[in-house]
């Protein structure tokens, strides 16, 4: 695979229920996780459900981090998708696991990119301008 990014699919369990239902806390924590990973925030959007649960996404220049919570089960689902070699999605994971008080976690890492016979990490390249194409 010509790898463009890494996508961590995370199951956090035994989390602090009150933190999982606090929209403001989750948005602050997700933005701090972005900073810990070395990524650049573009925008964010969070929503609290009635009677409980929060979904949110932080769009980063290097892809996105998203969360969906089930406070009643002490569970949070995270997607930490980053591109580039300088960004560390595991730093975001470590911070969020601690911040949400999770006692256990399962992580699946998916390498994202272009199928190929050979494994390599490739770099983003600028698109040609329409005038030159």
Please indicate whether residue 116 is annotated as part of the active site: no
108 domain-assigned: yes
Q: Choose among 80, 76, 53, 54: nearest CA to 66.
A: 80
Annotated catalytic residue: which of 63, 64, 123, 129?
A: 63
Residue 133 maps to a domain: no
- Residue 130 located in a structural domain: no
**How many domains, in total, are found in the chain?**
1
- Is 63 assigned a catalytic role? yes
Is residue 113 a part of any domain in this protein?
yes
Structural domain boundaries enclosing 71: 2-120
Q: Helix, strand or coil for residue 95? A: helix
Catalytic site residue from 83, 102, 123, 129: 83
In a domain, 100, yes or no: yes
Q: What does the pLDDT profile of the chain (133 residues) look like in tens digits? A: 888 899 999 999 999 999 999 999 999 999 999 999 999 999 999 999 999 999 999 999 999 999 999 999 999 999 999 998 899 999 999 999 999 999 999 999 999 988 888 888 887 666 666 665 5
Taking the model in full, what pTM does it have? 0.88
Kindly state whether residue 126 falls inside one of the protein's structural domains. Answer: no
Let me know if 15 is a catalytic residue.
no
Q: Kindly state whether residue 101 falls inside one of the protein's structural domains.
A: yes
Which residue among the candidates 68, 102, 104, 116 is catalytic per the annotation?
Answer: 68
Q: Is residue 125 part of a domain?
A: no
CATH number of the structural domain spanning residue 8: 3.60.90.10
């Amino acid at each position: 695979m010509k790898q463009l990014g890494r996508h961590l699919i995370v199951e956090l369990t035994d989390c602090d229920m009150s933190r999982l239902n606090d929209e403001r806390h989750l948005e602050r924590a997700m933005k701090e996780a972005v900073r810990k990973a070395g990524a650049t925030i573009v925008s964010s959007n969070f929503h609290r459900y009635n009677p409980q649960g929060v979904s949110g996404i932080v769009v980063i220049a290097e892809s996105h981090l998203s969360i969906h919570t089930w406070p009643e089960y002490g569970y949070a689902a995270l997607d930490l998708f980053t591109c580039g070699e300088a960004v560390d999605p595991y730093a975001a994971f470590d911070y969020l696991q601690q911040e949400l008080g999770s006692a256990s976690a399962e992580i699946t890492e998916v390498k994202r990119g272009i199928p190929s016979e050979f494994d390599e990490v490739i770099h983003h390249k600028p698109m040609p301008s329409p005038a030159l194409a």
